[in-house]
Structure 1
């Protein structure tokens, strides 16, 4: 996404957020439609139980509507929703496993980069995607989450720090550990990701 497109997207979000704060139901509905799938994609990386993740997202939006008049404008709407969903998922952890307590330092985070159906129809492309997934999922959970937030969602160190409730230096340290762990596979990983990105661009041009 180019800088101009990101800026326009942020401006559109701020208008919707302003509408929500003023009780405009259409703005609220637009936010829900825009971010439900994105939030589900993030939330389901903590837990594969789709119903629990859906419940957390629904409760998040219900709470937003109830508290709309007291809302302030966050740095970015998407980042705010990610923080809110992550916090809610951990609050609702008792629904995950009745015999186990999960903490911020002890949780799963599944990395499975989504590939459009038109791409994975080709066996070779699906194989590349699986190789990327295998390399990244060899990392500890928190390192996987940071890789996802940094390179898939394009969040900066400050945003990741606040989202994951850790200090900025810890973000840097965990990212460096991730680099070190996959250093031997890093050139391969970059090559495979660039290949998939190129293919996606080609499909977009042809559409």
Structure 2
């Protein structure tokens, strides 16, 4: 244990030779340990390399009270398990996206045709509205204006705006019902 304390101190003080000695001694066993957990060579290699990189980068903050071996193996085990969790989350996310794409692609051509027909009916109905009613409808529904603002802009009462919107909705509802009952 005293030997490990000295090794940690030397690494903490920036002794590159001691760090390289630890790297050479533990790299292959740690790689094999990680590979045994996750079964992927590239990922195991990356995990061990990242461990040594972080160990050197953050060496001044090292405060290790365990043995070098248990510290390194514990870190590799934790990173390997995190890798598994990350892969699981990625796979679930990928499956979720594929499922959504599949559901979206199941929209039938018939549904698309019906949607276009309905849009045409709405547009034709709006074009037939009296000019003031159409203007009020567009200001409210397309521009997002409040009834009070529309009334001020057009110099009419709020009740007039409400009445015109009610009539516009009634006409639209009637035309849409005709379409849906005919289908």
TM-score (norm: length of structure 1)? 0.40
Q: Which has the higher helix share?
A: 2
Question: What TM-score does the superposition give when structure 2 sets the normalisation length?
Answer: 0.45
